[in-house]
Structures are given as C-alpha cells and as structure tokens.
Chain A
C-alpha cells in the first residue's frame, strides 16, 4: 500500500512539472497553432541559467531558489527572441508544415548552441541543492519537502494563470487572438504584442519547471529539453492542445502513468507506455481528452 501511495506522489510530482511545461506548449499552440518544439529547450536554457546564477544569489545572501528569477528573465527573452527571429517571418510566408520544421530547427539550434558554448559543453552539469533536504512522514509514507513544494507551487501557478486568462484584460486579449486574429485586430488588439507576451509567459513557466526539475534531479544536460519536452507536449496533446486545463490534466496523466510504469513494470518502458497512451487517446479522441473536434470548412 505504501508503495502505491509513494508511486502516486511521485506521479503527481512528475505530473506537476510536466503540466507546467505543457502549459507553455498549449498557450503557444492556442495562439499561433504551432507546436513549439523549441519549448523543451527553454527548460534547458532555464536550467543552465539557474546553475550559473545560484553561486551569485548565494553570495548575495538570498536562498538558492531565487536564481529562478534570473532564469525566468532569460527564458522569457529567449522565447520572445525565437518568436521574433524565426517564427514570425515563417508564419508570414510559409505553410503549417514549414512553421513546424522551423520549430524543430530552433530546437536543434538551441541544443547545439548550448553544446558549442564552452562553459556548458556536452557533458552533464550538477546543480546545487535548491530546497532544504529531508521531509516528513505520515504513517509509512514519506513526503519530501521538495515534492510538496513542487506540487504546491505548480498548483498555485496554474490557478493564477487560469485566472489571468479569464479575468484580466491581457488574458482576454490572448484568448481573443487565439479565437480569431483578424477580428482581434479589428477590436484594437495588437496581435503581435499579444503573441510575444504569450511566448514570454510560456517560457517563464519553463524556467519555473526547470527549477522544479532540478530540485529533484540536480543534473542537467543539453538534450534535457528534448527528453522533458517530448513528454510535456505529449501531456499537452493528450489533454487537448490549446486548452489550459487540458494541459494540466494531461501532465498529471502522463506523470502518473510514468510513475506507475517505472515502479511496477520497468523504467526502460516508461517512454513507450507514455506514447502508447497518447496514441490510444488520439485514435479514440483525435483532439485530446478535453479537445473539441473541429472539421475543416468546405
């Protein structure tokens, strides 16, 4: 029984990290109908930023997690830069497919750029301890502080984000643009600014996800983004891409399945199982669990 609960907790922790990343995919997809393959690599960028700023932050007498602020700033900049330099020009001229290929190219670019920077290089780097070690026990189940903090912070962020899109002016503008760009323009919304804002928020979430991930596994490498990113976008698609609650749901589903496969079957099959779930869901419900099927207008 305690193994079961432990597995659930691990699943929730993984799930909350995936959900945070999936939110980034979903927000960008919602607004420009593009799977931003480079989003996973924003996590990697955030991770390295944290690694390099932690000593500085500690020297200033702040807690280690404060480094995430720097990561948020850097990630947001990288995200906005990617949109302005690569995606926007392609979106203007090309088809859906060329946009998707550009996204793959940006992902390759960030990964290989990181490897080419001497301070990073191809070998994994180990991070400092982010949160206090240890935990508490309820019955025979151990709750690590890191786990609890991860789940709580993710939950808070998701609620705030949801409120943001529903209640604030900017959030409404975002939903407007994702519904209909030309109508949004007519209503006086600056579409390009809104898209950039979406990229900034999505990338900032990736930075937070990087912190959460590193709190648990203090080791990062340049292709970390691909590995985490693939699972996160599986989450986003599973839940119904473009739908914020869908991303959260998808994240937890993927996290739990991964955790259960790892502890009850085999860790080497976890990825295959995650994809199998995705394939089954997509075949039964092509737009994801919470997605609506929209046919092409003839």
Chain B
C-alpha cells in the first residue's frame, strides 16, 4: 500500500560540498504522513547539514528535495516553510525579546490575510484576523502547557519550556513535515519524558510527519518507527530500531572503530 502513496517528504541523491569537502552525499529518504523517523549519527556526521538543506538554509550542490512530489530547488527558507516544512534548531532560536505568545503569532504571519491598509485603518478584517490568531496561538500554547506564560518574554522561560515553545512555533506554520533538531538536548530525564509525550500528542493530533535528529539513543529507539544513520555524510544504515541497534557498522561508527 505504501508503494502507491506519494511520500510527504522525499529527497533524491541530496548532497552538498563545502569548498571541495563533501559534507553530505547521496542522501535519500522518504517520509510518509504520520510517520516518525529518526536521523542519528556521531558528532559532525552531517545531520544538521541535512536539516539545513531540507529547509533551504543551505542550497544543496546536488539532488532535490521534494514535498508531496513537488521539487523545491532554488527556493528560500521562507518558501520551504510556506510549502510545509518547519523546523526547530539545535541551539534554541527563539525571539527572545518578544513575548511567548508573540513568538507563536510570528509564525502565523505568512497566513494572515490583512494588508497594510487594513492595519493602518484597523478595519474589521484586521481585528478578526488578530483575534483568530490570538485564539489559535493560545490553543497551541495550551498543548505545551505554556498558556500561563503567554505574556512573559520568551528569553525568561526555563530551558525545557523554551524547547517546547520552539516546537509550538514550528507547528504554528501549519506544516506537513516537522524537523526536530535534537529536541532533548540538555534536558533532564523528566523533561525528556514530557517532551516525548508532547511529540506523540502532536503527531496524533495533527497527523504530520516528523523527522527527528537525536543524540539520546534511548529516545530515538523508543519513539521512532524507522531510523536512518549517517556518518561522514554517508548513509550507513536505514531500518527498524532493533535492526539499527544490532547493525555492526552503526556500532563501529559510534564507538569510533
């Protein structure tokens, strides 16, 4: 059955060179709706580089990224987002000086229909759009238990809540694929467990595809349906968690053999 479906996100022979150095090459992945994939690999394996290519931050030197079968070559980051790929960052990138709710509202901007004239004259359209935005933002915040912090500056949140806010912001872009770059980095076990729950909730609720980069092997093994392992920019394994756990090449890469 899966053969007939078009993958939400697909890459074909994706690769990038930095000044002659092949950072990632021949990266192929297919992610279907509602799927949760893991991308793992040792430090410097090129995981974040893959994310950067999947979101238009870096332009790949070869290959294509397809969303629902539509190639996204040469598009800019905001166009990737508009097409339906959203991400979080390894080192959290919130709008620190803005309030929590504003952080989420920013991500609605591209879908807000009023124009400069509406804003200047404060037309009905403006008020309606702003009201809807506030409601939707509060709804998203409540999924992550952030509604009590809505008016605080984002930078004042503790680390774990900042991570959640970043995911909430990514969800607000109304995406089809969510890329999470080490969401559990720097979290304690309780926070990680909470996060897991969140990820599961949003997957069930929004029916989206998720690609997850993670260092925390236990987290990846627990939640991901399939896992892809890369090392030195090359895919060395792709399969079910248990297959990966027993794959000699993966073990070798992680132990530095």
The verdict on A133 contacting chain B, using a C-beta distance below 8 Å, is: no
A298 interface residue per 8 A CB criterion: yes
Cα distance A280–B57 in the bound complex, in angstroms? 25
What's the Cα separation between A43 and B57 when bound, in Å? 43
Complex interface residues of chain B between 33 and 53 (CB less than 8 A to chain A):
48, 52
- CA of A298 to CA of B50, assembled, Å: 12
Min Cβ gap B241→A in Å is 28
Majority DSSP secondary structure for residues of A touching B: loop
Q: Which residues of chain B (116-171) have a CB below 8 Å from chain A? A: none
Within 8 A of B (CB), among A283-298: 295, 298
Complex: A295 Cα to B48 Cα, angstroms? 15
In the bound complex, residues from chain B placing their C-beta under 8 Å from that of A295 are 58
- Whether, in the assembled complex, B232 has its beta carbon less than 8 Å from a beta carbon of chain A, the answer is no
- List B contacts of A298 (CB < 8 A): 48, 52, 57, 89
With the chains together, A298 CA to B52 CA distance in Å?
8
Interface residues of A in 263-298 (CB under 8 A from B): 295, 298
Instruction: List the A side residues contacting B89 at CB < 8 Å.
Output: 298
A295 to B58, CA, bound (A): 9
Interface residues of B in 70-120 (CB under 8 A from A): 89
How far is B55's CA from A298's CA once the two chains are assembled, in angstroms?
Answer: 11
Least Cβ–Cβ distance between A85 and chain B, in angstroms: 29
How far does the Cβ of A252 sit from chain B's closest Cβ, in whole Å? 29
Chain A residues lying within 8 Å of B58, measured Cβ to Cβ, are: 295
A118 and B153 alpha carbons, distance in the complex (Å): 51
Binding site secondary structure of chain B: loop
Tell me, rounded to whole Å, the shortest Cβ–Cβ distance linking A249 to chain B.
22
- Within the complex, what minimum Cβ distance (angstroms) separates A205 from chain B? 33
Smallest CB-CB separation from A296: which chain B residue? Answer: B57
0 or 1 for each of A143-184: is its CB under 8 Å from B? (1 = yes): 000000000000000000000000000000000000000000
A98 to chain B, nearest CB (A): 14
Query: Which residues 115-140 in A have Cβ within 8 Å of B in the complex?
Result: none
Contacts of B52 in A (CB 8 A): 298
B57: which A residues are within 8 A, CB to CB?
298
Q: Tell me the nearest residue of chain A to B87, going by C-beta.
A: A298
Nearest chain B CB to A286's CB is how many angstroms away? 16
A295 to B57, CA, bound (A): 10
Nearest Cβ distance between residue A130 and chain B, in whole angstroms? 48
In the complex, which residues of chain A have a beta carbon less than 8 angstroms from the beta carbon of B48?
298
Closest chain-A Cβ to B153's Cβ sits at a distance in Å of 17
- A24 to B48 alpha-carbon distance, docked (Å): 38
Residues 57-70 of chain B, each 1 if its beta carbon lies under 8 Å from chain A, else 0: 11000000000000
Closest Cβ–Cβ distance, residue A274 to chain B (whole Å): 32
CA distance A298 to B58 in the complex (A): 10
CB distance from B128 to the nearest CB of A (A): 36
How far, in Å, is B21 (CB) from chain A's closest CB? 15
CA distance A295 to B89 in the complex (A): 16
Chain A's closest residue to B48 (CB) is: A298
Q: In the complex, which residue of chain B has the Cβ closest to the Cβ of A295? A: B58
Bound Cα distance from A191 to B57, whole angstroms? 34
- Complex: A237 Cα to B58 Cα, angstroms: 25
**Min CB distance, B76 to chain A, in Å?**
14
| Closest chain A CB from B85 CB (angstroms) | 15
Give Cα A13–Cα B61 distance, bound, in whole angstroms: 45
Chain A residue at minimal CB-CB distance from B55: A298
> How distant is the Cα of A239 from the Cα of B130 in the complex, in angstroms?
48
Q: From residue A280, how far is it (CB to closest CB) to chain B in Å?
A: 23
A298 CA / B181 CA spacing, docked (Å): 11
> In the complex, A15 Cα to B45 Cα: how many Å?
48
Shortest beta-carbon distance, A293 to chain B, in Å?
11
When each residue 3-22 of chain B gets 1 if its CB lies under 8 Å from chain A and 0 otherwise, what string results? Answer: 00000000000000000000
A298 to B89, CA, bound (A): 8
Minimum Cβ distance to chain A for residue B94 (Å): 15
CB distance from A209 to the nearest CB of B (A): 36
Residue of A nearest to B19 (CB): A292
For the complex, what is the distance from the CA of A298 to the CA of B57, rounded to whole Å?
Answer: 8
Min C-beta distance of A136 to chain B, whole Å: 50
Encoded as 1 (CB less than 8 Å from any A CB) or 0, chain B from 223 to 239 comes to 00000000000000000
Nearest chain A residue, comparing its CB with the CB of B51 = A298
Q: B47 to chain A: closest CB distance in Å?
A: 12
Q: Would you give the shortest CB distance from A265 to chain B, in whole angstroms?
A: 39
A230 shortest CB reach to chain B, Å: 33
Question: Closest approach, in angstroms, between the C-beta of B87 and any C-beta of chain A?
Answer: 10
Closest A residue by C-beta to B52: A298
A142 to B143, CA, bound (A): 81
Q: In this complex, what residue of B is CB-closest to A292?
A: B19
CA distance A298 to B49 in the complex (A): 9
Per the bound structure, the CA–CA distance linking A245 and B48 in Å amounts to 35
Chain B positions near chain A (C-beta within 8 angstroms): 48, 52, 57-58, 89
A-B contacts, 5 of them at CB < 8 A, read: A295-B58, A298-B48, A298-B52, A298-B57, A298-B89
Q: Hey, which bits of chain A sit against chain B, CB under 8 A?
A: 295, 298
Q: Top 5 nearest A-B pairs by Cβ distance?
A: A298-B57, A298-B52, A298-B89, A298-B48, A295-B58
